[in-house]
Structure 1
Amino acid sequence: MPHEVASEGAARPPARLALCEIRSTPLSVDEVLSAIADPACGGQVLFVGRVRDHDHGRGVDGLHYEAHPAARERMAAVCERVATAYDVRAVAAVHRAGDLAIGDIAVVIGVAAPHRGAAFDAGRDLIDTLKSTVPIWKHQAFSDGSDEWVGLP
């Protein structure tokens, strides 16, 4: 549930879209944390998604992310919606594209809010909505030689 403005009649400062990118280069947790830094915020929430070595009981050797040309625009819209729906000051999201190995960082999101509750709520909404609506597709290579596309329309 979105958190309301802290006090009636008080206008909250607008949240900023601190960082929103899809890249073929390694992602940095420190970059996202720096991007959302705000001295008015006591709560900063990060989510880091890494490539794991299994999926649904099957061994995974690696994967490839493919982003639709409109994916960055869609990701920015998700970030902006979260920024206005919650009492947050900064929102950031970066996602990898291309080939990734086990352990590589695939996605990092971050939000900064005056209080932890809003930061946690906004962070969960941001990653869940990003993963369910932004057209970035995962092609998994399994240890048994098979493969699978995930998230295709």
Structure 2
Amino acid sequence: MMPVVIADLSDRPIDVAEHLAAVEHPSAGAVASFIGRVRDHDPGADGEVVALDYTAHPDAIVALGAIAERFDGDGVRIAVSHRIGHLEVGGVALVACVSTAHRAEAFDVCRALVEAVKAELPVWKRQLERDGSHSWVGIA
């Protein structure tokens, strides 16, 4: 069984149902999922956030696959995707679905996967604010 069934980076909308279906398996008693959406505020923004522009390193898709593969385990199936490009408030930026035999493992793996993607994936965002200003997030 292939543990990572989707690891994608795209400028197209992420299909959540496709991710859920991808991790279905007869041995899976639990599916945990995370949907990260663009919100209208951020601690680093001076005003209201109206959109995000995501930019990725050319090797980001390889990095995403490598991150997901670290969570390989007996009966674990993973589908994870991150958007790039322009997203308005409410847009789906990250989807992670994990299926396992038991709920505790599904929750644990999904959370750890999302935290690893947020910390390690070479994707940066430019926050666009209502007043026309912007700031970059994730660039050291």
Range class of TM-score, shorter chain: over 0.9
Distance 1:24 1:97 in 2: 5
CA RMSD, Structure 1 to Structure 2 (Å): 1.3
Unaligned runs of 5+ in 1: 1-13
Q: For residues 15-52 of structure 1, what are the alpha-carbon distances to aligned partners after superposition, in whole Å with 9 as ceiling and x for unaligned?
A: 52110110101111101001111111111011000111
Distance 1:73 1:88 in 2: 23
Query: How does the TM-score come out when normalised to structure 1?
Result: 0.86
In the alignment, structure 1 residue 42 sits paired with structure 2 residue 29: yes
Which position in structure 2 is the counterpart of 1:10? none
In the alignment, structure 1 residue 61 sits paired with structure 2 residue 74: no
In the alignment, structure 1 residue 129 sits paired with structure 2 residue 116: yes
SS in 2 for 1:82: coil
Shift of 1:146: 1.5
**Farther off after superposition, 110-119 or 52-61:** 52-61
Which position in structure 1 is the counterpart of 2:93? 106
Matched residue type, 2:100: A
Shift of 1:55: 1.1
Unaligned runs of 5+ in 2: none
Say which one has the larger Rg. 1
Distance 1:135 1:115 in 2: 31
Shift of 1:89: 2.2
In the alignment, structure 1 residue 73 sits paired with structure 2 residue 73: no
Which position in structure 2 is the counterpart of 1:5? none
Runs of 4+ in 1 over 2 A off after TM superposition: none
Matches within 5 A, 1:135-146: 135-146=122-133
Contact 1:38/1:89, CA 8 A, preserved across alignment: no
Pairs aligned (count): 138
1, 5, 12: which is aligned to 1:25? 12
Distance 1:38 1:152 in 2: 38
SS in 2 for 1:69: coil
SS in 1 for 2:90: coil
